[in-house]
Homo-oligomer: A and B are copies of this chain.
Amino acid sequence: MNPTGLFPESLCPIARSLDLLGQKWSLMIVREAVGGATRFADFRAIGIPSDILTKRLISLVDAGVLEKHPYQAPGERARDEYVLSPAGRALLPVLSAFVEWGTEYLPIPAGRTLESVTADTGERVQLAYITEDGTVVDQDRVTITTIQAE
């Protein structure tokens, strides 16, 4: 485990992911997209400078995290909307992990403000580790390890 983190070809998937998603505002954009934001102004509202937002949207579209669709509302000019791709949706566990960690270890007086739920029933869910046969494993038993070259 000794990658440079400077090239997308890094051997480490964490480093590769952070190369794309580690710049300021990128994951916040994904978070907003999960929450239903699609238009430039939606994302802009989180406080990101517009030139940075432009750059991040291009980068996330290029990487396949967001998809850009032209649309035109009646009476308005043609614009683009940005929606999560399947790869973008697959970032949900990353966001959920930050929600759970931030809620527990960086608490605020307002308490819990976000949570992961099933969209259809609104049932609360949380992340856990499971084995191949679906058995839940205690997180204290888990580590991350290098796969031996075969």
Contacts and interface: CB of A to CB of B under 8 A. Distances in A.
Given A4-B47, A5-B46, A15 B34 contact: no
Given A4-B47, A34-B144, A129 B116 contact: yes
Contacts of A9: 108
Interface string A56-80: 0000000010000000000000000
Contact of A5 (B47, B96, B131, B146): B47
Interface of A: 1-6, 8-18, 20, 22, 24-25, 27-28, 31-32, 34-35, 45-47, 64, 87, 89-106, 108, 110, 112-120, 122-132, 134, 136-137, 139-147, 149
